[in-house]
Structure 1
Amino acid sequence: MSKAQRELPILVTGAAGRIGSVGRTVTELLLARGFQVRAQVRVDDERAARLRALGAEVVVGDLLDLMAVHRAIEGCERLCFAMSVAPTYLEAAVNVAVVAKHHGVKAFVNLSQMTVNEMDIFNTTPSPQQKQHWLAEQILSWSGLPVVEVRPTAFMEGLLLQTAKTVSLQDKIMAPFGMGKNSPSLQPMSLG
């Protein structure tokens, strides 16, 4: 990667999330590796201030507002689209895709869901959130953008914090997966 490419910021949406936030974790990891990061947040609060303190360029805006999406993407050739579960997920994904296409984004990482690879035009799911992820992937595919789909099963750092009492009382982790198989993604976590 050229020095000029490394100096262009990488946009990370949903960067201010709470415990287990993929956007926040991606932002921290990129900054730790010396990349310039533009962290998109909806609210300028203490979480945004923490991202600034780490060295991120913070841009405040709602992904449902096209002008806010332009402000976030302009000047970025790469982006990571991560967004919390919301009824407006599909609209936000489409906004980011069309604006990314307009600005000539060269790498678009989309954080989707593991079940999407089991869906097709005849079989989706009763889950509105999973269906929105499947539809977003279809739109991204049609867009012609260079998209990398990331379909994790589960991020465990939030689960571990939520199950700490069970672990201390029973000396085991009781994950909500029943008899199903799971390949968790465990990121280094900070309790501070």
Structure 2
Amino acid sequence: MPRSGAEARRRLQQAALELYRERGFDQTTTAEIAARAGVNERTFFRHFPDKREVLFDGEAALRAALVQAVAEAPDGLQPLDMLLRAFRKAGRILEDNRPFSEPRLAVIAVTPALRERELAKAASLTDAAAEALEQRGVPDRLAGLAAQAGWAAFHQAAQAWIDDPSQSLDAHLSRAFDDLRALSAPVPLTKEG
């Protein structure tokens, strides 16, 4: 039996991930997750409101890291540069938890209910990043656009990091934000002929 709440929570997350990979999300019950983790079902519900949320536990820490990094960014940075700093800080959370992050993303990719939850969480995090930019004086229209573009770059970088672990998440983030900036750079004219 897990002795602490944090240990029970971690074991529930690991058990859920294992069962989702073995049987699929829809075929797994909260009772089975609790049994695999060595706790009762009531304990599961003390930690998580439903079986989807068990894979999205880090949202509060990710939100706090993003908002704090934007708030602490040096004056004079452009919005995308503030977001790059923020996503680098948030990315450390993923890197520290790679053994869980990688299979978690694979389970989400094949489960419509989890993809829906991931989109809702992403929208909430994007809104938090936009609000943090607004607090730094970025006009709301630009803050929202920057936050959405930054989140797209972060998402792309995280997937690239899963696919290519030979480079750090930070390296993938730098590339994704460079690519984002390149999209708005003037395109050089080429000679035809």
Shared fold (TM-score greater than 0.5)?
A: no
Smaller-chain TM-score bracket:
under 0.3
Answer 1 or 2: which has greater helix percent: 2
Query: Which structure's CA Rg is the greater one?
Result: 2
TM-score, structure 1 length as denominator?
A: 0.25
Answer 1 or 2: which has greater strand percent: 1
